[in-house]
């Protein structure tokens, strides 16, 4: 097989709702869902092949079986059987906690795993929806404890009103939060480490305030104030547009009304195809074809030489992710 689809993994959250299963076309429509993990190598939440000859195979076993043919030589050498990306759809019916993630070095030192750099691509929003990315005024490590204790951290964070198509890159260390009414794609390193800084006084299932991790967060935060936290790009129909290239992932947007032929011979990486709008037909090396609708995600093996993506609706929009 060169095209793989995995069972999505729903994650119930305190801020989840009904929108995500509806977006994904799930007939069962469970409630309280905040995230759908599309491709995951996180231990305890590992993706399983949904169908085909290798149905039922966990992702790590799939990589062990096929190695560089599946993920690429450089990726296999660097990560072994650990898949390097975690791909999610997220919908917030309420504001997420204000949080930060550690960088790789600090995460390895504290937790024995990689840190968490990520990016967001906004799919849909309620009127007035917003999110938090970065700081809007100077905060220091020395003043952090006092600001948090006094409940003033929201005075320092940068809030951005958002609309479909907005993109934010969130390097490890950047304070952030997804606001209520926002549906987005999250692409991140394979890590599930989160330091919660502020949670609007919410209680957990036992009626106690949810745990904060301010002591851990203090050393993880990048206190730099940026002038602009949005990722700026120029949308170009029927042509891949690079949204972000970093050491952890390269992500491009393809907004199309006609078939697109992509040469994969020099990529030396798997390709993750995330359908954000419409439906597409994906053909790899002219001998394996799959139809994929909005809200679905496919993994294309690194040994693939060529890929054609054709809109099966009047238009379609996909994200393409690779690892250098």
Question: pLDDT tens digits for 104-158?
Answer: 999 999 999 999 999 999 999 999 999 999 999 999 999 999 999 999 999 999 9
pLDDT at residue 27 in the model: 85
230 is catalytic: no
DSSP code per residue over 297-323: EEEE-TT--EEEEEESSS-EEEEEEE-
Indicate the pTM of the whole model.
Answer: 0.97
DSSP code per residue over 231-288: ------TTS-EEEEE-SS-EEEEEEESS-EEEE-TTT-S-EEEEEEESEEEEEETTTE
CB distance 191 to 116 below 8 Å? yes
The C-alpha angle 245, 250, 255, rounded to 5 degrees, equals 105
pLDDT at residue 145 in the model: 93
> Tokens representing 258?
């006609």
Contacts of 2 (CB under 8 A, 6+ apart): 284, 285, 288, 300, 301, 303, 304
Buried (b) or exposed (e) across 32-44, using 16+ Cβ within 10 A?
Answer: ebbbbbbbbbbee
pLDDT at residue 112 in the model: 94
Q: What does the alpha-carbon distance between residue 23 and residue 9 come to, in Å, rounded to a whole number?
A: 15
pLDDT at residue 29 in the model: 84
Catalytic residue among 114, 174, 196, 290: 196
Per-residue pLDDT tens digits for 32-89: 999 999 999 999 999 999 999 999 999 999 999 999 999 999 999 999 999 999 999 9
Class of domain 3-218: mainly beta
Q: What does the alpha-carbon distance between residue 83 and residue 76 come to, in Å, rounded to a whole number?
A: 9
State the pairing for strand pair 279-284/3-4: unpaired
Domain chopping of the chain, boundaries: 3-218, 241-322
Say yes or no to pLDDT of 207 above 90. no
CB distance 90 to 16 below 8 Å? no
pLDDT at residue 155 in the model: 97
Summarize the chain as % helix, strand, coil (round to 5).
15, 40, 45
Say yes or no to pLDDT of 205 above 90. no
Least confident of 11-20, 23-32, 250-259: 23-32
Per-residue pLDDT tens digits for 53-62: 999 999 999 9
Q: Is 257 left (phi over 0), alpha (psi -120 to 50) or beta?
A: alpha
Question: Which residues, listed in sequence order, are joined to residue 35 by a DSSP beta bridge?
Answer: 11, 90
Class of domain 241-322: mainly beta
Q: Is 285 left (phi over 0), alpha (psi -120 to 50) or beta?
A: left
Q: What does the alpha-carbon distance between residue 135 and residue 287 come to, in Å, rounded to a whole number?
A: 50
Q: pLDDT exceeding 90 applies to what percent of the chain?
A: 95
- Please tell me if the domain spanning 3-218 has the same topology as the one spanning 241-322: yes
pLDDT-based confidence at residue 159 (cuts at 50, 70, 90): very high
């Amino acid at each position: 097989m060169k095209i793989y689809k995995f069972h999505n993994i729903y994650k119930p959250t305190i801020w989840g709702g009904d929108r995500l299963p509806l977006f994904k076309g799930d007939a069962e429509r469970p409630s309280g869902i905040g995230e759908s993990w599309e491709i995951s190598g996180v231990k305890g939440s590992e993706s399983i092949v949904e169908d085909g000859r290798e149905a039922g195979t966990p992702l790590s076993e799939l990589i062990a079986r096929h190695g560089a043919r599946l993920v690429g030589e450089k990726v296999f050498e660097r990560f072994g059987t650990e898949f390097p990306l975690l791909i999610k759809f997220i919908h917030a019916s309420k504001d997420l906690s204000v949080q930060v993630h550690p960088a790789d070095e600090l995460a390895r030192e504290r937790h024995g795993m990689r840190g968490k750099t990520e990016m967001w691509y906004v799919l849909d929003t309620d009127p007035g929806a917003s999110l938090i990315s970065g700081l809007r005024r100077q905060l220091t490590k020395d003043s952090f404890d006092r600001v948090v204790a006094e409940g003033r951290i929201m005075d320092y964070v940068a809030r951005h009103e958002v609309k479909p198509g907005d993109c934010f890159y969130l390097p490890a260390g950047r304070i952030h939060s997804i606001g209520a009414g926002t549906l987005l794609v999250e692409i991140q390193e394979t890590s599930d480490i989160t330091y919660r800084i502020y949670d609007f006084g919410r209680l957990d299932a036992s009626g106690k305030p949810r745990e904060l991790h301010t002591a851990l967060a203090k050393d993880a935060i990048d206190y730099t104030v940026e002038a602009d936290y949005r990722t700026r790009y120029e949308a170009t129909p029927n042509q891949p547009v690079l949204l972000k290239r970093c050491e952890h992932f390269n992500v491009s947007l393809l907004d199309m009304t006609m078939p697109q032929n992509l040469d994969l011979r020099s990529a030396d990486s798997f390709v993750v195809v995330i359908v954000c709008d419409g439906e597409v037909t994906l053909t790899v090396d002219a001998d394996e074809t799959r139809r994929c609708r909005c809200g679905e995600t496919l993994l294309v093996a690194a040994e693939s030489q060529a890929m054609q993506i054709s809109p099966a609706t009047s238009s379609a929009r996909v994200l393409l992710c690779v690892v250098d």
